[in-house]
Amino acid sequence: MRQARYTSATPTGLADGWSLERLCPPSRLFGANGLRTGPDGRVYVAQVAGSQISALDVDSGELETVSAQGSDIVAPDDVAFDAGGDLYATEYYDGRVSVRGTDGRTRVLRDDLPGANGITFHRGRLFVDECRIGGRLMELDLNGGAPRVLLDELPMPNAMEVGPDGLLYYPMLGSNDIWRIDPEGGEPERVVGDLGVPDAVKFDSAGRIVSTQVGSGEVLRIDPRTGERTVLATLSPGLDNLTFVGDRLFVSGFTGQITEILGVGETREVLPGGLTWPLDLTVGPDGTLYVADGTYFYRYQPGGDLTMLGMLFSPGWPGYIRGVSADGAAEFVVTTSNGQIARWNPASAEHQVLAGETEPFDQLYGVAVAPDGAVVAAELGTGRVVSVRGGEVTTLASGLDRPMGVAFRADGTCLISESGAGRVVAITGSGAVDTVADGLDTPQGILVRGGTLAIVDAGAKTLIEVDLDSKARTTIARDLPVGAPLGAPPKPLKGLIPFSGPQGLYAGIAAGPDGTLYVSGDAEGSVLALRQEGRTHS
């Protein structure tokens, strides 16, 4: 049995007559970002979304968690080792560089580097850059003193390396090229441009650049002397970094996939990709299930695989999608972690911001289309529920405790899950609320079907159903792989514009026309299908 990133001591329990199916296997990692070969020959994998660093045996596929979610290192994006074997990690969202010693203890080296990303050692000297608009390229003092800035005002530099010529090579996402500079200072020189959005640079044993292209999914080999380039492989968009184990080349991707590049056009899957943390779910008019996975958006059809409809670098991408609701056959209303409510058409690669463009909302979550056509969303940060129609924003309710899920009864009554208060409420016409269900732990995704309300209680790791008339409750499933790992609450992910605002867990729910309930297994990176024998809802 393959290792998964999340395990529970107790298997999921189901009410009588219910069955559970995983539509996709659990993920092994929380995505895969920075890669670095360690002194022990294993590949160390930084995982921003999961605040985790894992060590991978590239032959056996065995993984060991080196720095776990909930520990001192938060949102690691890239890693490097010094000569003594200490691990240095850039913490992208917290703007830090931390050091994990060989004794397992962690200390913060710097905490004033917004967007800290690329990191590399050269002859005992540590270099770091900031992947943001106006980012800096710096040499850090290993004793924590002030950095020496080599360059600033860079358009999103990323993972870098010193070449055999002694020059520091760095890619820039914002200008789609690779540059180099003498570590002692001086003027930078453009090496090659017009790429596929390069986000990492390393060197092979022949002194050639190898670079992953996040936009095109290409792995390029580039001669730094002539600029000649060779496409070693074309994978999916979302490639992030690479490392060599001897002469063997391994690349990472946002989905958690680790691939060995065997030769031109030849690859081997070392770790499969998967969902980073599925958030909201929705079902289209034809019964098709759609999955919002933050930087990706997928379509799932029974018996088929997840098909990517858009991702972070796709044309027309609305932003890191958190809440989603199908609005017709081809369009979706979405909430993004950048604080916007938008209508998005993946097929035409276009989106329209409905609200939040000039004044972003504070941590939007669930979204739904009201029977009258208004778009209603929960704004966790301010405790509001807002309605958008014709560009006008109206507050339907305020003073709520971390509202997250949104659903509507057949009569148009809006229901909201208050994750902080442990209840679901109905909004009355006066802006007041009435309690529909209380005594919950952390209710997130909610769904009305027929005369019942389904609630994903991420804190209790349960799926319950409430009869809206009698208030009778049924626990459909317990010990679900949702919410934070037991005993290790994750630390907040602050996000960094333009890629993402603050990130957080959200276990969504949707229903198929055959009565199937779909739940985001965000803890393990799966989508769960729960079915009750002999019961159908539309």
Query: Tens digits of per-residue pLDDT, 182-220?
Result: 999 999 999 999 999 999 999 999 999 999 999 999 999
Report residue 140 as tokens.
């850090």
pLDDT at residue number 119? 98
Q: pLDDT grade, residue 534 (50/70/90)? A: confident
- Domain 281-484+516-532: CATH superfamily is TolB, C-terminal domain (2.120.10.30)
Nearest to 193 by CA among 160, 238, 227, 144: 227
Alpha-carbon distance values, 379 to 51, 233, 325, 335, 363 (Å): 25, 42, 16, 10, 6
* Domain coordinates in residue numbering, the chain: 28-271, 281-484+516-532
Q: What does the pLDDT look like over 128-175, one tens digit per residue?
A: 999 999 999 999 999 999 999 999 999 999 999 999 999 999 999 999
Q: How far is CA 523 from the centre of its chain?
A: 12
> How does residue 24 score in pLDDT terms, banded at 50, 70 and 90?
very high
Q: How far is CA 362 from CA 86, 352, 415, in A?
A: 38, 19, 20
In this predicted structure, the answer to whether residue 1 has a pLDDT above a threshold of 70 is no
Residue 500 amino acid letter = S
Least confident of 107-116, 370-379, 427-436: 427-436
- Please answer whether residues 506 and 444 qualify as being in contact, where contact means their C-beta atoms are separated by less than 8 angstroms: yes
Higher-confidence residue of 484 and 67: namely 67
Lowest mean pLDDT of 258-267, 321-330, 332-341, 483-492, name the range.
Answer: 483-492
Give the pLDDT of residue 302: 75
Return all residues near 105 (Cβ < 8 A) that are at least 6 apart: none
As a whole number, mean pLDDT of residues 216-226 equals 96
For residue 73, what pLDDT is reported? Answer: 96
- Peptide bond just before 498 cis, omega within 30 deg: yes
- Beta-carbon contacts of residue 327 (< 8 Å; ≥ 6 apart): 333, 343, 369
Closest CA to 270 of 252, 254, 247, 243: 252
- Give the lowest-confidence range in 100-109, 478-487, 512-521: 478-487
Would the pLDDT of 421 be above 60? yes
Place of tokens 């490639």: 239
CA distance 209 to 221: 6
Nearest to 92 by CA among 486, 514, 500, 452: 500
**Longest Cα–Cα distance in the chain:** 76
Spatial CA neighbour of 324 closest among 356, 283, 280, 293: 280
pLDDT reading at 390 higher than 80? yes
Contact 86, 132 (CB under 8 A): no
Check: CB of residue 316 under 8 Å from CB of residue 324.
Answer: no
**24-52 CB burial, b ≥16 within 10 A, e <16:** bebbbbbbbbbbbbbeeebbbbbbbbbbb
* Pair of tokens at residue 119: 């990191």
pLDDT tens-digit readout, 255-294: 999 999 999 999 999 999 999 989 999 999 999 999 999 9
How is residue 467 written in tokens?
């009869």
The CA distance from 114 to 116, in Å, is 6
What's the pLDDT tens digit per position in 395-414?
999 999 999 999 999 999 99
Alpha-carbon distances of 6 from 53, 75, 283, 302, rounded to whole Å = 14, 18, 26, 25
As a CATH number, domain 28-271 is 2.130.10.10
